[in-house]
Chains A and B, each alone.
Chain A
Amino acid sequence: MGFLDIDNATKAYGAVEVLHRVDISVQEGEFLVLVGPSGCGKSTLLNMIAGLEDITSGEIRIKDTLMNGVHPSKRNIAMVFQSYALYPNMTVGQNITFGLEMHGVPKPEREKALKEAANLLQIEPLLDRKPGALSGGQRQRVAMGRALVRNPDVFLFDEPLSNLDAKLRVDMRTEIKKLHQKLGTTIVYVTHDQIEAMTLSTRIAVMNGGYVQQLGTPQEIYDTPANIFVATFMGSPAMNVIPAKVAIKDGLPMALVALHDGSEVALPFSQQNMADWAGKEILLGIRPETITDEDAADRKSSNIAHLSNRIVVTEPAGSDTFVTMTLGGKDVIARMRSDADVRPGADFTFAVNMEKAIAFDPASQNRIAP
């Protein structure tokens, strides 16, 4: 039994089901991130936890109390919205304490709570201003203050950073993480940004098409994605997905992949059980950072394969250089060191860390190895 239990939760608008049998159990102090493309149902799920949308079937429990049909204000939750949702006609102080006022908290207590929250978020000088006079980052802090002051069981964040510019977004991300470490609160956080999901969470639920595709720690999600959707959604640049054929060579299962000129290269699997797929087509998932030049190949890996292929495009990005080549008829990106000697049109020998390679079943799109 968790701290927040989402049990078989389903949401339907009329005959259209937008969220299918979601099961997630969140422990106290956990930072759960719901991530997925727009329309995947993550915000709907968050709104159902908040009580802003009805649950069609299934149950949502907080601290073992059934929340279905309970008014949002009586769930002891707080929410930070994408637009911050600060009341334009109230001062920052009034914004932060409005919830306490509505819950009948006496004024001296409200003032005390306001002071604490303002101190924690370093917004004391702003308390008498109206939201219209604040910068994006300041509004963000006020919105968090409004949530903090309630001392809720669960914090809900709905894409809180997406309205900030790139630099501020990184800063606020760190702030949120610090705050979580300091207060140890339970957080459910919705974002479409996979980097936010990776950096902030203790666990991630990757969603698509109303289904939870995979629920796991950031490392699990990244290293062993459940299917091609999760594999390509998490990570930037996205994981390369290359059509390949499985064959046995020297008693080992290999992936046969077509090079730019049509000739084939054999890349040995690290998993013996791939022998079961001998003679069949698979999709081979290789992350860009596991394709390098030979010098930069991972020394700890016991399975480095080499292939020589023509470079199509190079994209220097400062710290790295991204190299595009053709493998199995697809554009494949390799992430090289910036000093690698790569030129478009030249042939180059790449090192592929096959220990990290993932095989998918082309029919079901699910992971078959490792």
Chain B
Amino acid sequence: MARAAQADFKTRLQVWLPKLVLSPSLALMLVFVYGFIVFSVYLSFTDSRLLPSYGWVGLENYSKLWRLSHWWTSISNMAVFAFLYIGICTFLGLGLAIFLDQKIRAEGMLRTIYLYPMALSFIVTGTAWKWFLDPGIGLENVMQSWGWVSFEFDWIKNRDFAIYTVVLAAVWQTSGFVMAMFLAGLRGIDNEILKAAQMDGASNWNLYRRIIIPQLRPAFLSAFVILSHLAIKTFDLVIALTGGGPGRATELPATFMYSYTFSRNQMGIGAASATIMLMTIAAIMIPYLYAELREKS
């Protein structure tokens, strides 16, 4: 009898073990992700300044936030940055992928070259571009010393253009990765469909426009989701490249949140801005994850 009972316990343990094994990760998520989100959202409704404080102020932080020109600057910078970054990365990634898919001789080497920036830290990328674009020692100086005296390229120091240098460096870093995503999509297309279309007399241009690119829909979607979430999270690159300047010309919501929370001691407003960032990403990610996971199960 005792043996049977023991065996039964073992069998039941086998049923519980999987859940037991999953539970540490779930506990971590529950506390460090969802608990923290709740806490931060709560803070955004309080009068927290240097330290968390629990005086309820309702929507005051949000109304203050939306009256700050600093916040508006980072939001409009984000709009410009995200639009260009996502657009250019997608266009470039797709174009390079299509070109690389034409039985190119040194494909492996080119792919490696296009992709390696992905392995670098944004701090490294920022440092490299910061000095390369610096008018004092970088491109402008080089061109002038090569004899093109009237050459001017001071975007990184120019309030109206500095945000485009952030776009440039960010595109440099991630477009190769987007290229890889599209290349994988292109390689997944059934060659027989292409042959059939060629038999139907489609030109290369029409083949891409009517047959191939429409079939890359999933790759477009993944690229958009990944790029938009990277765009919203962009922080290190700005810190290393421009430090948010000149002035506030390259401030983004992530840098805004950081400086309001940790240097300006406006934790409530910082938390409010973080909440808005989270909601923006959630609006993109949740439908995407929902669709993906539903499809798989």
A56-95 interface with B by 8 A CB criterion? 69-71, 74
Q: Would you list which residues of chain A between 295 and 348 have a CB under 8 Å from chain B?
A: none
Q: B7: which A residues are within 8 A, CB to CB?
A: 71, 74
Q: Does B11 contact A (CB under 8 A)?
A: yes
Q: Which residues of B contact A74 (CB under 8 A)?
A: 7, 11
What separation, in Å, do the CA atoms of A69 and B7 have in the docked complex? 11
How distant is the Cα of A16 from the Cα of B10 in the complex, in angstroms? 30
Which B residue sits closest to A70, measured CB to CB? Answer: B11
B1-47 residues with Cβ-Cβ distance < 8 A to A are 7-8, 10-11, 14
- Using CB atoms, name the residue of chain A closest to B8: A69
Residue of B nearest to A69 (CB): B11
With both chains docked as a complex, state the minimum distance between the C-beta of A91 and any C-beta of chain B, in angstroms: 27
How many residues does chain B have at the interface if contact means C-beta atoms less than 8 Å apart? 5
Q: Which residues 79-119 of B have a CB within 8 angstroms of A?
A: none
CB distance from A5 to the nearest CB of B (A): 20
Q: Which residues of A contact B10 (CB under 8 A)?
A: 71
> How many angstroms from the CA of A74 to the CA of B7 in the assembled complex?
9
Chain A residues contacting B8 (CB-CB under 8 Å) are 69
**A33-76 interface code vs B (CB 8 A; 1 in, 0 out):** 00000000000000000000000000000000000011100100
Chain B, range 112-131, C-beta contacts under 8 Å to A = none
* A64 vs chain B, min Cβ distance (A): 15
A76 to chain B, nearest CB (A): 13
Least Cβ distance of A168 to chain B in Å? 30
CB neighbours of A69 from chain B (8 A): 8, 11
User: Nearest chain-B residue to A51 (Cβ)?
Assistant: B11
Cα of A46 to Cα of B11 in the assembled complex, Å: 20
A74 to B11, CA, bound (A): 9
Closest to B14 in A: A71
User: CA A74 – CA B10 in complex, angstroms?
Assistant: 11
Q: Report the bound CA distance from A71 to B8 in whole Å.
A: 8
B274 vs chain A, min Cβ distance (A)? 40
Bound Cα distance A69, B14 (Å): 12
For B200-220 the 0/1 string (1 means CB < 8 A from A) is: 000000000000000000000
Alpha-carbon distance A71/B6, docked complex (angstroms): 12
In the complex, what residues of B have CB within 8 A of residue A71's CB?
7, 10-11, 14
Complex: A10 Cα to B6 Cα, angstroms? 28
Taking the closest CB of chain B, its distance from the CB of A345, in whole angstroms, is 38
A69 to B10 Cα, complex, angstroms: 12
Question: Which chain A residue has the least Cβ–Cβ distance from B10?
Answer: A71
Chain B residues within an 8 Å CB radius of A70: 11
Q: From residue B39, how far is it (CB to closest CB) to chain A in Å?
A: 36
- Return the chain A residue nearest B7 by Cβ: A74
**Residue from A69, A70, A71 having most chain B Cβ neighbours under 10 A:** A71
Complex: A302 Cα to B114 Cα, angstroms = 85
CB distance from B8 to the nearest CB of A (A): 8
Q: Please indicate the chain A residues that have their CB under 8 angstroms from the CB of B11 in the complex.
A: 69-71, 74
Closest to A71 in B: B11
A74 vs B8: C-alpha distance when bound (angstroms):
10
B10, B11, B14 — which one has the most chain A CB atoms within 10 A of its CB? B11
> How close is B284's CB to chain A, nearest CB, in angstroms?
32
Contact residues, B249-272 vs A (CB, 8 A): none
Cα distance A367–B171 when bound, in Å?
73
What distance in Å separates the Cβ of A90 from its nearest Cβ neighbour in chain B?
Answer: 22
Complex Cα–Cα for A70 and B14 (A):
11
Q: Once the chains are docked, how many angstroms separate the CA of A168 from the CA of B11?
A: 39
Tell me the minimal C-beta distance from B10 to chain A in angstroms.
Answer: 7
In angstroms, Cα B14 to Cα A271, docked, is 59
A69–B12 Cα gap in the complex (Å)?
Answer: 9
Q: Once bound together, how far apart are the Cα atoms of A70 and B11, in whole Å?
A: 7
Chain B nearest Cβ from A65, distance in angstroms: 10
State the Cβ distance, A46 to closest chain B Cβ, in Å.
Answer: 20
Q: Which A residues touch B14, using CB under 8 A?
A: 71
Q: How far is the CA of A70 from the CA of B9 in the complex (A)?
A: 11
Q: How far is the CB of B118 from chain A (nearest CB, A)?
A: 32
Bound Cα distance from A366 to B10, whole angstroms: 48
Q: Which residues of B contact A (CB under 8 A)?
A: 7-8, 10-11, 14
9 cross-chain CB contacts under 8 A: A69-B8, A69-B11, A70-B11, A71-B7, A71-B10, A71-B11, A71-B14, A74-B7, A74-B11
Given pairs A71-B10, A71-B11, A71-B14, 6 additional interface contacts (CB within 8 A): A69-B8, A69-B11, A70-B11, A71-B7, A74-B7, A74-B11
Closest 9 CB pairs of A and B: A71-B11, A74-B7, A71-B14, A70-B11, A69-B11, A71-B10, A74-B11, A71-B7, A69-B8
A residues at B contact (CB < 8 Å): 69-71, 74
